[in-house]
Amino acid sequence: MKTNAKRARRSVAAVAFATFCCTFGAAAAEAQAQADVPPSPQAHAHAQELLDRGNELFRAGDMGGALRLYQEAYGVFQSPKLFFNIGNGSYICSASLIKRGVAVTAAHCVAEFGKNQLHSNWTFVPAYSNGVAPYGVWSAQSVYLLTSYLDGSDPCSTPGVSCQDDVALILLNPDAAGNYPGSATGWYGYGYDGYGFSGSGLTQITQIGYPACLDSGALMERNDSYGYVSATQVNNTLIGSLMCGGSSGGPWLVNFGVAPALSGTTPGAAANSNVVVGVSSWGYTTNTLPKEMGSSPFTSGNIVTLVNAVCGAAPAACN
């Protein structure tokens, strides 16, 4: 891997945060492709309600209002902006809900690679938009990541940048009534060991995040790209992307959006909608290199291990 593909930390004057982005890689998907249970029923019901309301506004001639509801319906309310501290410094990442009270992000958004040291004060804001928190602000109870990332033994093509397990989970605190954010927003499903990929390692990825180089990180951004597995980057998935610092930890999804009614065709083998199969991890930091980013694909050795650990410790957050 080229040495200028590295973690980006950049100041963002508009929001007074530095971005913390982009390190990591992924393991080969060797087992049979599998997916967790489909995204939550709440997410589907909420999406349909938003689409119906959007259609009403469209028919009434309110194109702007309809567009906002359509954007919200297509899954973005489950993707939060993540604020946290490294020492006295403030940083941002992205994340997504995969259980009622459990968010997935990049491991480098919760810890420093190889230093056995966690960051602190994670704050989770679903559907953050230019300072507005429509689903509230949620704090972290604990974080979960693999020991190999903490102690630096994780396989990497470039240490601390393109590695095998840049994946972490955040267990969120419930509110005073015992509710988790997913009770209002719903949550994505997750897939692992090649779910949604062809036998040759190809897929279509939707990337969501809050990159500081686009709209100063104040708005959620979406990118769609063909993805491929790169053997030279410890089997990371690579996509074309203009995102940058701040997008780290944001979800990479297959089958994004509301599933259409089919007529005269059949779904593919991996047909569940809104399934997270990786998170933004690293990207090239100079303009002379391809606008590409890498992700650690989810495997039975990282995402399944972590989900089992957090749900075993806090089953209410996973129900």
Domains of the chain in sequence order: 11-317 (2.40.10.120)
For 273, which DSSP code?
S
pLDDT over 90 (residue 281): yes
Residue 290's pLDDT is 79
Looking at residue 252, what is its pLDDT? 97
Is 1 a residue whose pLDDT tops 50?
no
Task: Kindly state the percentage of the chain with pLDDT values over 70.
Answer: 82
Q: Is the pLDDT of residue 11 over 90?
A: no
Q: Give me the percent of the chain exceeding a pLDDT of 90.
A: 59
Over the chain, what is the mean pLDDT? 82
CB neighbours of residue 289 within 10 Å? 12
Burial annotation 45-61 (CB, 10 A radius, 16+ → b, else e): ebbeebbebbeebeeee
Of 14-28, 192-206, 228-242, the range with the lowest mean pLDDT is 14-28
Cα–Cα distance for residue pair 291/102, rounded to 1 Å: 31
pLDDT score recorded for residue 68: 67
pLDDT band at 172 (very low <50, low <70, confident <90, very high): very high
Q: Best-predicted range by mean pLDDT among 12-21, 246-255, 264-273?
A: 246-255
pLDDT of res. 186: 84
Flag whether pLDDT at 9 surpasses 50.
Answer: no
**Widest distance between CA atoms in the chain:** 59
Q: Is the pLDDT of residue 42 over 70?
A: no
Residue 77's φ and ψ, nearest 5 degrees, are -70, -10
Contact predicate 293/224, CB 8 Å: no
CA R_g for the chain:
18
| Six-digit token string for 63 | 């194109």
β 102-105/111-112 pair status:
unpaired
Least confident of 20-34, 80-94, 140-154: 20-34
Residues 6+ apart with CB under 8 A from 69: 50, 51, 53, 54, 57
- Report, as an integer, the average pLDDT of 170-198: 93
Residue among 93, 245, 102 at smallest CA distance from 183: 102
pLDDT of residue 75: 56
Q: What is the pTM of this model?
A: 0.81
Residue 113 has pLDDT above 70, yes or no: yes
Quote the pLDDT of residue 58: 83
Mean pLDDT of 103-121: 95
Model pLDDT, residue 29: 26
Helix ranges, the chain (H): 41-59, 63-73, 147-151, 182-185, 303-313
Least confident of 47-51, 172-176, 278-282: 47-51
Per-residue pLDDT of 216-244, as tens digits, reads 999 889 999 999 999 999 999 999 999 99
